[in-house]
Amino acid sequence: MSDKCIVHGCQNHKHQGSFDGDLCSPCYRMLTTGEPRFGATFVHDMAARIRELEAEKKELALDVLAAQGQAADLAAGNARLDAEAQAQAQEVDLTRRRADKWQSMVLDCEEHLKDGETPAQRIERERTDNLTLLKLVEKGKRKSEQLEAENARLKNALIATRNDLHEINAGDLSTFEVQDAISAALEEKNDE
């Protein structure tokens, strides 16, 4: 038999310490209690590797949580980008429809354009024509009011003349006197 501990990787020899059969005391204690202490056996190597793997597992769990948070942030960002893209698509569609409407209006307007006239010039021409028309309507309204006033004045003069005629007829005047009286009354009314 060998005077070395039979645990793989252990370097203890029987003359260096206490043994329990072919096992040195540290290896015996490690195998019976399941708690490896300091040493260079394969068990110690495995325990160190297990500790490393557990630390890596914790780091990976933290990395997974961070990745899940980033994935949620990315999903929210993608949703926001999708909403913005949809809003921009609607705005582009609205702009396109407006442009089509304006193009249609320009095409409808072209038949009313004079040679070499642009739609903007046509609009300005119509605006000035409308202003001129409004001025003419206003002038016609003033003229109509003046004519109504003149008509009312003449009507009043006619009534006054008729009243004068009744007075003349009541006085039994001759026709020449009546005509002279009417002419005088009319001249008097016109002078006013």
Instruction: Give the mean model confidence (pLDDT) for residues 72-91.
Output: 91
Which sequence spans correspond to the domains of the chain? 41-110, 119-191
Per-residue pLDDT, 189: 67
Least confidently predicted of 124-128, 159-163, 170-174: 170-174
Mean pLDDT of the chain: 82
Does the structure show a pLDDT above 60 at 92?
Answer: yes
Mean pLDDT of 98-123: 78
57-77 average pLDDT score: 90
Distance, CA of 134 to CA of 136 (rounded, Å): 5
Q: Say if residue 145's pLDDT is above 80.
A: yes
CA distance 81 to 42: 56
**Which residue is associated with the tokens 């325990």?**
47
How many angstroms separate the Cα of 9 from the Cα of each of 2, 4, 19, 36, 52?
14, 10, 16, 13, 20
Decide if 21 contacts 54 (C-beta within 8 A): no
Residue 178 pLDDT: 64
